[in-house]
Amino acid sequence: MELRVDGKRAFATTGGRTHQPGRRAVVLVHGAGMDRTVWVLQTRYFAHHGRNVLAVDLPGHGRSEGPSLASVGDMADWLSRLMDAADIETASVVGHSMGSLVALDLCARFPERVDAAALLSTAVPMPVGEGLLSAAKANDRDAIDMIVAWGHGRNAHLGGHKAPGLWMTGGAERLLEKADDDVLYTDLGACDGYRDGLEAASRVRCPVLLVLGREDRMTPPRAAQELADAIPSSRTVVLDACGHMPMIERPDRVLDVLGEVIRGGPGPA
Amino acid sequence: MAKPGFPRFDTLSLHAGQHPDPATGSRAVPVYQTTSYVFQDVDHAASLFNLERAGHIYSRISNPTTAVLEERIASLEGGVGAVCAASGQAALHLAIATILDAGHHIVSSGSIYGGSHNLFTHTLPRFGIETTFVDPRDPRAFRDAIRPETRLLFGETLGNPGLEILDIPAVADVAHEAGLPLLVDSTFATPYLFRPLEWGADLVTHSATKFLGGHGVAIGGVVVDGGTFDWEASGRFPTLTEPYAGYHGLDFVEEFGPQAYVMRARSEGLRDFGACMSPANAFHIIQGVETLPLRMARHVDNTRRVVAFLDEHEAVAWVGYPELPSHPDHELAKARFPKGCGAVFSFGIGGGREAGRKFIEAVGLFSHLANVGDAKSLVIHPATTTHQQMDADALEAAGISEDLIRLSVGLEDPQDLIDDLDRGLRASRR
Ligand SMILES: Cc1ncc(COP(=O)(O)O)c(C=O)c1O
């Protein structure tokens, strides 16, 4: 679905279904340097299970016009305006990595607009290593290799994609290569610079699910502990044999646990 | 490839796509000899059919054994995914049918496997797809042959049988400037010797029947999606960028991004054309891929020794191997094929066709048959067999002369191969 936010083209996929009035909405937010397509299975599942889905391309990503936004707060504000443009009053929000921070910040800034949240591969704070930041700043391809190498669990490095014939790390490389210059650096800077996460967490009013990969080397489970403690109502699920890309490494488990917070059926009037 | 933090080629050859079987602990890839897979419940079934959950439904579309081979080849080629097919020809057809319609046009190298030449010349035209053949050594000829309705450029990494080296970066540039993808048949090279995607090709096919399997026991093919081509920017590929009524309006690029092509190839091409690989064949080919690096290195060693022997032999008119300075692509070979130019090549026998007949009938270790890439050495006379349906002009354009004999050098002791060839060459002069 093509929308306009702040006078610019903004894109979100609806999982092949047009939105229908009276249905609860789900908004999915990708991580640094990526786009809506990381959520393909979750998008399609919820769209065909009674929800109005928006898997968004943040500004400067996928099909959404740039430039990309420099802070998590700006992204959360933008997301609220995207929901306005799509006529969505309240939604369940699912975010991955950088997108989990955007989801968290949206919950804190607009508590009345989020009925549930799921934060995948999250950590607060989310510091980014100097080597990765400087490679991203130079638009050096090593930055992509580092993210893909660290971003997948040991199993994923040898494959075993649930979708027959897909090669996980190859798909991640191509996705990151598609981003324009500087997008990855801006995103990583936004993660690194997000300082208000624990304070934001204390303002969250909705139930929150944290989904973490036991083998995640970018946001290891222990790095999410403080966040989980700071959120008034949270539950944490740690997935075995999973790195930083749970929606791709463990898609079925992710759908199952998301289903616990994202319920179908008619929404509030 | 060989980047820090990633498993390397030899490791991927053995492990990619497989974890010890969760049900039994089986270390070897089990043969999932089954047609179909029990659904957990009605919703699970519906979700699988609608690509909301990933998994196996029916072995025409996917199978766990075959999926291991698909991931393994995708990983070795550096792609985003792969689809196996019943044969190399089925893979080529699938690669084309996924994005071309009646009224479309292909620009192909003229120096390709005879069967592929047949498909382009005689068969695809019945379905409204025309092909123009060009000299693989002339990237400008590819450009000049492109028409408004062209949708694909095609060539072989190493041409069959002349080993013309496709200048993939140059031809890929021509393709990409025109908003078209480049498909490469890399059967003769295998990913061990050359990875076309790293040089600009967008799609790769293999006859897995050959070196990938390596033992001459199973027919199979594979299409690898590089995930690099921007279907959306090109705007000429509605099967990938417009809603598909065959999947409730699914738009593959919108939803699957860089994996759009391989998803469409499976979910339409295998579902509807049905030329799938059997799990038993996938198993056999996996056994081959496990030792691909070892075998290819030995294939090339043996080939180099055989080439050196023939090159010196007085009964031999010429030898066409790119590592020889006399081969037109010698410089490209040095730059791009440091591990060798494969184990299939041809030579000209003094005395022409009749001498060739005597030679083929006199050799013993070299089996006279229509295949390449077996662990056992093979020999054939293409003009009367594999490339027989090509007319004189096409044969000449493809560099296939009457005196041309094609060898596929196997893994026997190289001295025994040389002795056998020597016996054949002596017989050819009697
Ligand atoms: C270069 C090349 N491509 C494709 C094929 C066709 O493969 P298959 O026989 O597996 O259909 C062959 C077979 O000889 C070949 O040599």
pLDDT of A150 reads: 96
CA B177, CA B195: separation in Å to the nearest integer? 22
Sheet architecture: strand order including A8-13: A2-5, A8-13, A52-56, A25-29, A91-96, A114-120, A208-213, A234-239
CA A84, CA A2: separation in Å to the nearest integer? 13
Of all residues in chain B, the percent with pLDDT exceeding 90 is 90
Same domain, B142 and B265: yes
Residue B184 resides in a domain: yes
**What interface predicted TM-score (ipTM) does this complex get?**
0.96
Which domain CATH number covers B112? 3.40.640.10
Domains (range + CATH), chain A = 2-262 (3.40.50.1820)
Same domain, B360 and B282: no
Which amino acid is it at B421? L
- Location of structure tokens 């919820």: A46
Closest CA to A32 of A153, A192, A141: A192
Of all residues in chain A, the percent with pLDDT exceeding 90 is 96
Q: How far is CA B49 from the centre of its chain?
A: 30
Could you count the other beta carbons within 10 Å of the beta carbon of residue B22?
8
Same domain, B253 and B308: no
Coil vs helix vs strand at A109: helix
Number of compact structural domains in chain B: 2
Joined together, the tokens standing for residue B233 give 């920017």
Tell me the residue range of the domain where B213 lies.
12-288
B89 lines ligand 1 (CB under 6 A): yes
Same domain, B176 and B212: yes
CA B89, CA B83: separation in Å to the nearest integer? 13
Using the beta-carbon criterion (under 8 Å), do A162 and B78 form an inter-chain contact? no
Q: Is A90 exposed, middle or buried (0-12, 13-18, 19+ CB in 10 A)?
A: middle
Closest CA to B148 of B236, B233, B232: B236
Task: Check if B47 contacts A (Cβ < 8 Å).
Answer: yes
pLDDT of A266 reads: 46
Cis before A246 (ω within 30): no
Residues in chain A within 8 Å Cβ distance of B75: 159, 167, 169-170
Domain boundary among B236, B267, B288: B288
Of all residues in chain B, the percent with pLDDT exceeding 70 is 100
Nearest beta carbon to residue B5 from set A145, A170, A255: A145
CA B229, CA B179: separation in Å to the nearest integer? 9
Q: In the predicted model, what is the mean pLDDT of residues B26-34?
A: 98
Q: Is the pLDDT of residue A265 over 60?
A: no
Read off the pLDDT band of B1 (50, 70, 90): low
Pick from B113, B281, B344 the residue to mutate for probing ligand 1's pocket: most ligand atoms within 8 Å of its CB: B113
**B41-88 residue pLDDT tens:** 999 999 999 999 999 999 999 999 999 999 999 999 999 999 999 999
Residue B5 resides in a domain: no
Note whether A78 and A136 are within 8 A (CB).
no
Note whether B267 and B288 are within 8 A (CB).
no
CA B430, CA B418: separation in Å to the nearest integer? 19
Could you count the other beta carbons within 10 Å of the beta carbon of residue A190?
24
Classify residue A230 by its DSSP letter.
H
The dihedral through the CA atoms of B318, B324, B328, B333 has a sign that is positive
Task: Check if A162 contacts B (Cβ < 8 Å).
Answer: yes
Residue B2 resides in a domain: no
Reported as half-sphere exposure (CB side, CA atoms, 13 A), residue B220 has a value of 29
CA A193, CA A125: separation in Å to the nearest integer? 9
Joined together, the tokens standing for residue B255 give 């939803």
**B250-308 residue pLDDT tens:** 999 999 999 999 999 999 999 999 999 999 999 999 999 999 999 999 999 999 999 99
Ligand 1 mean position, distance from CA B185 (Å): 9
Domain boundary among B288, B312, B336: B288
**B178-228 residue pLDDT tens:** 999 999 999 999 999 999 999 999 999 999 999 999 999 999 999 999 999
Same domain, B256 and B308: no
Beta carbons within 8 Å of B279's beta carbon, 6+ residues apart: B31, B32, B33, B34, B59, B63, B64, B65, B66
Read off the pLDDT band of B386 (50, 70, 90): confident
Could you count the other beta carbons within 10 Å of the beta carbon of residue B359?
25
Torsion, CA B197, CA B203, CA B209, CA B212, rounded to 10: 20
Read off the pLDDT band of B115 (50, 70, 90): very high
CA A219, CA A231: separation in Å to the nearest integer? 18
Task: Check if A15 contacts B (Cβ < 8 Å).
Answer: yes
Which of B225, B255, B268 should be substituted to probe chain A, the one whose Cβ sees the most A Cβ atoms within 10 Å? B255
CA B276, CA B15: separation in Å to the nearest integer? 23
Same domain, B304 and B180: no
Could you count the other beta carbons within 10 Å of the beta carbon of residue A223?
18
Same domain, B274 and B297: no
User: Higher model confidence: residue A42 or residue B398?
Assistant: A42
Which domain CATH number covers B298? 3.90.1150.10
CA A101, CA A126: separation in Å to the nearest integer? 9
Ligand 1 mean position, distance from CA B72 (Å): 20
Same domain, B266 and B296: no
Same domain, B265 and B315: no
Note whether A61 and A179 are within 8 A (CB).
yes
Give the mean pLDDT of chain A: 96
Coil vs helix vs strand at A16: coil
Residues in chain A within 8 Å Cβ distance of B94: none
Beta carbons within 8 Å of A194's beta carbon, 6+ residues apart: A71, A72, A101, A105, A124, A125, A126
Q: In the predicted model, what is the mean pLDDT of residues A73-91?
A: 98
User: Higher model confidence: residue A149 or residue B392?
Assistant: A149
- Report which protein residue has its CA nearest ligand 1's atom 9: B88
Using the beta-carbon criterion (under 8 Å), do B70 and A165 form an inter-chain contact? yes
pLDDT of A89 reads: 96
Q: In the predicted model, what is the mean pLDDT of residues A216-241?
A: 97
Q: Is the pLDDT of residue A86 over 90?
A: yes
Give the mean pLDDT of chain B: 96
Note whether B410 and B421 are within 8 A (CB).
no
Note whether A128 and A188 are within 8 A (CB).
yes
Residue B53 resides in a domain: yes
Beta carbons within 8 Å of B181's beta carbon, 6+ residues apart: B99, B152, B153, B175, B202, B203, B229
- Location of structure tokens 């992710």: A254
Same domain, B125 and B219: yes
Q: Is the pLDDT of residue A264 over 80?
A: no
B154 lines ligand 1 (CB under 6 A): no
- Location of structure tokens 């490494």: A249
Classify residue A266 by its DSSP letter.
B
B380: left (phi over 0), alpha (psi -120 to 50) or beta: beta
Q: What is the DSSP string of A20-79?
A: -TTB-EEEEE--TT--GGGGHHHHHHHHTTT-EEEEE--TTSTTS-SPPPSSHHHHHHHH
Residue B170 resides in a domain: yes
Domain boundary among B259, B288, B317: B288
Residues in chain A within 8 Å Cβ distance of B82: 165, 167
Cis before A125 (ω within 30): yes
Residue B3 resides in a domain: no
- Report which protein residue has its CA nearest ligand 1's atom 6: B88
Read off the pLDDT band of B348 (50, 70, 90): very high
Same domain, B83 and B184: yes
- Least trusted range by pLDDT, from A102-106, A240-244, B402-406: B402-406
Read off the pLDDT band of A269 (50, 70, 90): very low
Task: Count contacts between A and B (CB, < 8 Å).
Answer: 145
In total, chain A counts a number of residues equal to 269
Same domain, B208 and B278: yes
Three-state secondary structure of chain B: CCCCCCCCHHHHHHHCCCCCCCCCCCCCCCCCCCCECCCCCHHHHHHHHCCCCCCCCECCCCCHHHHHHHHHHHHHHCCCEEEEECCHHHHHHHHHHCCCCCCCEEEEECCCCHHHHHHHHHHHHHHCCEEEEECCCCHHHHHHHCCCCEEEEEEECECCCCCCECCHHHHHHHHHHCCCCEEEECCCCHHHHCCHHHHCCCEEEEECCCCCCCCCCCCCEEEEECCCCCHHHHCCCHHHHCCEHHHCCECHHHHHHHHHHHHHHHHHHHHHHCCCCCHHHHHHHHHHHHCHHHHHHHHHHHHHHHHHHHHHCCCEEEEECCCCCCCCCHHHHHHHCCCCCCCEEEEEECCHHHHHHHHHHHCCCCEECCCCCCCCCEEECHHHCCCCCCCHHHHHHCCCCCCEEEEECCCCCHHHHHHHHHHHHHHHCC
Residue B260 resides in a domain: yes
Note whether A185 and A133 are within 8 A (CB).
yes
CA B249, CA B252: separation in Å to the nearest integer? 9
Coil vs helix vs strand at A167: coil
Residues in chain B within 8 Å Cβ distance of A49: 52
CA A156, CA A159: separation in Å to the nearest integer? 5
Joined together, the tokens standing for residue B370 give 């229509």
Residue B341 resides in a domain: yes
Torsion, CA B180, CA B181, CA B186, CA B187, rounded to 10: -90
